[in-house]
Structure 1
Amino acid sequence: MTASWHTLLDVAIRTSVIYLALLVGLRVTGKRQLAQMSTFDFVLLLIIANAVQNAMVGPDTSLAGGLVAAAVLLAWHQGIDRLRRSSRSLGRLLGGSADLLVYHGRVMHQHLERENLTIDELRQALREHGVASLDVVHMAVLEPDGAISVIRSDEIVPGRPHHRIKAVRRNE
């Protein structure tokens, strides 16, 4: 059975709505969720993927319907990526900005709360970087990609890159 243009347009519209809704939803949940996944998060991701797949293609399970959905997703992704790179303010809106978590050994508790990060998770991330005490931390920053960058006070050397922790694991 061949899909009609009306059906394929319906798939494109459904896919666009789902993509934009998920983009907003993931942006609201915070960048910490992007860099780490617990078992709970993974199960939720699988369920969401199945639910939105059904919502995107509706009754059209044809090859054409699947290809249209994939093409629309890729087009949205490419378009939003270009928008994000074209403007610094749009980049911050769509991709987020870095948040300072520790400065001169002092924890910025309001920033932890805003990012739904606990002090225990922060301490775990610091230990993964080899830091046993907050006193030796010049800065710890939650990056837009969810990674935590840590700069020790004794590592501040002009021109030397800092080290990054690629994920903060959740203790669930």
Structure 2
Amino acid sequence: MLMLIFRTFFYYVIVVIIFRLMGKREVGELSLLDIVVYIMIAEIAVLTIEDLDIFFGYGLIPMIVLLLIQRLTAWISLKSPLFRTWFEGKPSIIIAQGKIDEYQMKKNRFNFDDLLQQLRENGTESIKDVSYAILEPSGKLSIIERVNQSKIQGKINGLVLPLVVDGRVQDKALTELGESEAWLLAELKKRGYDKINEVSFCSIDVNDEWYVDKKNEK
């Protein structure tokens, strides 16, 4: 009995430490890998606790391996947008400028009952009140209700368009806007940024509002 209590306490502490090392993320924001790792760690802990014939520290090895896998993929995901899109998925626009995209709904196995339920949970009275509804990789539906349309709204296929990510210009975003890199640099200079590579992240939204974050700025 004492050994069972000791094992339970030991693995409780270990699991808490490992989850803390994985980083803080809300349950709804967990990636597929996070969920798989969490389930496997929990199973390993339970197995090691229940089987008193197994050395109590035996489960540490696979837990540490899983932690290293999770940290490695998180680092690669941070550095590679392509890997992040492939591994974690990307948001899907279910409603764009008030129009429902049935193809995206079918592709994501998202039906009208799901849509109406999440609209109700958001407090949205009618689909006609929705400007954009975006299905996030986590499965959560982000809903933006209609606002006064800006000049740039018709050019952006979404709510926010990233123009610079990790100091790299997003050429597809400029093409979507019909603008050039010279235009982007001129806009950044207006806002006090002389070089694109000194910008960590830059975006423009449907209301023509800019957000610019400088690298390593404190």
Report the equivalent of 1:75: 68
Identity rate, percent: 23
Task: Give the secondary-structure state (helix, strand or coil) at the position aligned to 2:134.
Answer: strand
Give the unaligned 5+ runs of structure 2: 1-26, 30-35, 150-206, 211-218
Following superposition, the deviation at residue 61 of structure 1 comes to: 3.4
Could you report, residue by residue, the CA deviation over 1:34-73 in whole angstroms, capped at 9, with x for unpaired residues? 849xxxxxxxx9xx7599649x98x983223200011011
Task: Kindly indicate whether residue 95 of structure 2 is the aligned counterpart of residue 102 of structure 1.
Answer: yes
Task: Give the secondary-structure state (helix, strand or coil) at the position aligned to 2:109.
Answer: coil
Taking a change above 3 Å as real, the CA distance of residues 73 and 89 of structure 1, as seen in their structure-2 partners, is: same
Using CA pairs under 8 Å that are at least 6 residues apart, name the structure with larger relative contact order, 1 or 2: 1
Task: Give the secondary-structure state (helix, strand or coil) at the position aligned to 1:145.
Answer: coil
TM-score by length of 2: 0.45
Q: Which has the larger radius of gyration?
A: 2
Report the equivalent of 1:154: 147
Report the equivalent of 2:85: 92
Task: Give the secondary-structure state (helix, strand or coil) at the position aligned to 1:132.
Answer: coil
> Are the counterparts in 1 of residues 93 and 101 from structure 2 also a CA contact under 8 Å?
yes
Give the RMSD, CA atoms, in angstroms.
Answer: 3.3
Give the unaligned 5+ runs of structure 1: 1-33, 37-44, 161-172
State how far apart, in whole Å, the 2-side matches of 1:52 and 1:129 are. Answer: 35
Task: Give the secondary-structure state (helix, strand or coil) at the position aligned to 1:154.
Answer: coil
Structure in which a larger fraction of residues adopt helix: 1
TM-score by length of 1: 0.56
Structure in which a larger fraction of residues adopt strand: 2
State how far apart, in whole Å, the 2-side matches of 1:155 and 1:145 are. Answer: 29
Following superposition, the deviation at residue 110 of structure 1 comes to: 1.4
Task: Kindly indicate whether residue 126 of structure 2 is the aligned counterpart of residue 133 of structure 1.
Answer: yes
Count matched residues.
Answer: 116
Task: Kindly indicate whether residue 113 of structure 2 is the aligned counterpart of residue 111 of structure 1.
Answer: no
Q: Name segments (4+ residues, structure 1) moved above 6 Å.
A: none
